[in-house]
Amino acid sequence: MSIPGYTYGDIISQKHTCDGQDLSPRIVWSEPPASTKSFALILEDPDAPHGTFTHWVLYNIPPETKELPEGIKNGEEKAGNFSQGLNDFGKIGYNGPCPPGKSVHRYFFYLYALVERPEIGPNMKASDIKKLLDSKMIKQASYMLKYGRHYEQSK
């Protein structure tokens, strides 16, 4: 899994944050296990003041998918027949990095390959998806980017 234009641990561009356009970044991957029936993706900030904070939840991503485009619009059902869940802002879809003050936070994009397409309803939370992972996950990939409001944004 990778996020084009970034290397692991880079500072994310302001356009992908609450201080910019708040666009979801383009995410690509390849070579899932042959038994993959769907993917799920969760974006989390483990450095949030009150514990891990979820910024994005996607699930029921078809197994033939190898890329999520930049700027996926917020809402429950999306083109490509996947769903977006409820983030910790209480909204459906992507809300990017938005750390308080001048602190620098890490943002982890977790991609899960699942052995089946779970029968789950709309507006799921990260905790709902994580309950499925023990029995349904066959592979996990992650990618970390950082963001802090005191950085000069060059991307």
Q: CB–CB of 14/153 below 8 Å?
A: yes
Residues 6+ apart with CB under 8 A from 38: 59, 60, 61, 62, 63, 114, 116, 117, 118
Q: Is the pLDDT of residue 7 over 60?
A: yes
CB atoms within 10 A of CB 61: 23
The helix/strand count (H/E) of the chain reads as: 1, 8
Residue 134 has pLDDT above 70, yes or no: yes
In the prediction, which pLDDT does 77 show?
Answer: 64
φ, ψ of residue 54 in degrees (nearest 5)? -90, 125
Mean pLDDT in the chain?
Answer: 90
In this prediction the pTM is 0.92
- The structural domains of the chain, ordered by start, are 14-148 (3.90.280.10)
